């Protein structure tokens, strides 16, 4: 056996050890062992190649990274869930109440062992304008349940294979986003956010919506088949949450599986409270400023939250505060602020700090 063949033999042995170290479904294990046997046969006959080996090795690496049996233990405590929602989100009382009702049915089913871990509640779909907190609300639900959190962005998705994977018959084949996120979470019951469902490209919308119909139905997704993995994986323990700016571009079949929760716009009072208590302290710290190096008068906040008119969310508000803090930091670094002094933003000078 030449050096090349010896190297392949050593790599095949490592694959065999990897397979033995993990618990796999019997029929899948049989399939993988058959692939290893075929690799050894080509090695013995002298027809083995690194291309063949790389294909098998990549497949086995993906299979062994999937959480067929691993799952996190749920936190079945509604008061804890309420605390998480209140901690992460100011206001939004009606939305938080809807989510607590939704979590209550999941928690009760888990406590009474009536669901066997399967999520049968409708999929929440958070609908709202940009910056209204849809993504962070989904993360809070995962935190409240003590589950891993993963996000699949649908903005600009133009091929159903991005979700379902590509057959290994193709040279550049790889699993779809669902399998990748499960492998990344190392848990069979994560919270997976399907972000911006309304922004799928028009040409592939029907194909992708077809995959979503299967993905969001617990009667179908317990045998979800990724084209690359080519083996059914049980997704019925996954908690899916969707977001969109509106429902116009979401198919009726998918909407039937969703429970729409409308995200309200933030009022000026809510934005002021969020800015003063959360955004400003966070951004000031990230900009390298001490608490005593930059202060903002109370009567200035009304100009900060509406520099260019009304905005439903807080994303642009955060950018405005970032601009203010960066300008203050630049003044300090350039020595324009006397040592030991601080920058005080007032109704007279606030315009020079607002981004232009």
| Per-residue pLDDT reduced to its tens digit, 227-279 | 999 999 999 899 999 999 999 999 999 999 999 999 988 888 888 998 998 99
Percent of the chain with pLDDT over 70: 93
The CA angle 225-231-237, to the nearest 5 degrees, is 60
Range of weakest confidence among 159-163, 199-203, 241-245, 266-270: 266-270
Q: Which of 195, 181, 123 is nearest to 148 (CA)?
A: 181
pLDDT at 22: 87
- CA 59 – CA 61 distance, rounded (Å): 5
Which of these, 199, 100, 194, lies nearest to 140 by C-alpha position? 100
Per-residue pLDDT for 125 more than 70?
yes
Q: Are 286 and 279 in contact (CB under 8 A)?
A: no
pLDDT of residue 116: 67
| Token couple for 314 | 């807080």
pLDDT of 251 reads: 94
Q: Which of 31-40, 49-58, 185-194, 252-261 has the lowest mean pLDDT?
A: 49-58
Distance between CA atoms of 236 and 217, rounded to whole angstroms?
A: 8
* Helical axes 50-65 vs 3-20, angle rounded to 10°: 10
Helix axes 50-65, 26-45, angle to 10 degrees: 160
Contact assessment for residue 316 and residue 285, using Cβ atoms and an 8 Å cutoff: no
Whole-structure pTM value: 0.85
- What is the rounded CA–CA span in Å between residue 66 and residue 183? 5
Mean pLDDT estimate for the chain: 88
For 35-63, what is the mean pLDDT? 82
CA pair distance 243, 138, nearest whole angstrom: 9
């Amino acid at each position: 056996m030449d050096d090349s063949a010896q190297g392949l033999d050593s790599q095949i042995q490592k694959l065999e050890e990897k397979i033995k170290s993990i618990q796999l479904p019997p029929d899948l294990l049989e399939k993988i062992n058959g692939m290893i046997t075929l690799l050894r046969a080509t090695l013995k006959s002298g027809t083995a190649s690194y291309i063949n080996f790389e294909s098998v090795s990549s497949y086995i690496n993906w299979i062994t990274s999937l959480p067929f049996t691993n799952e996190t233990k749920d936190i079945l405590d509604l008061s804890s869930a309420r605390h998480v929602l209140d901690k992460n989100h100011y206001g939004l009382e009606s939305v938080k109440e809807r989510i607590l009702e939704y979590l209550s049915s999941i928690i009760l089913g888990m406590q009474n062992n009536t669901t066997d871990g399967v999520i049968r509640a409708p999929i929440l779909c958070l609908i709202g304008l940009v910056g209204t907190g849809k993504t962070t609300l989904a993360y809070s639900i995962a935190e409240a349940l003590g589950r891993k959190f993963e996000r699949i962005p649908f903005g600009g998705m133009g091929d159903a294979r991005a979700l379902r994977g590509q057959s290994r018959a193709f040279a550049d084949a790889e699993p779809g986003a669902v399998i990748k996120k499960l492998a990344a979470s190392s848990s069979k019951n994560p919270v997976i956010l399907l972000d911006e469902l309304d922004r799928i490209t028009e040409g592939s919308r029907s194909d992708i919506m077809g995959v979503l119909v299967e993905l969001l139905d617990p009667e179908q997704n317990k045998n979800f088949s990724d084209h690359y993995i080519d083996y059914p994986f049980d997704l019925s323990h996954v908690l899916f949450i969707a977001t969109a700016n509106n429902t116009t571009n979401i198919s009726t079949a998918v909407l039937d599986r969703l429970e729409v929760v409308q995200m309200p716009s933030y009022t000026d009072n809510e934005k002021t409270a969020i800015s003063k208590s959360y955004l400003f302290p966070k951004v000031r710290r990230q900009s390298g400023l001490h608490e005593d190096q930059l202060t903002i008068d109370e009567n200035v906040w009304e100009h900060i939250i509406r520099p260019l008119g009304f905005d439903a969310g807080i994303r642009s508000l955060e950018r405005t505060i970032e601009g203010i803090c960066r300008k203050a930091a630049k003044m300090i670094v350039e020595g324009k602020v006397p040592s030991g002094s601080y920058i005080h933003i007032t109704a007279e000078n606030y315009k020079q700090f607002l981004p232009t």
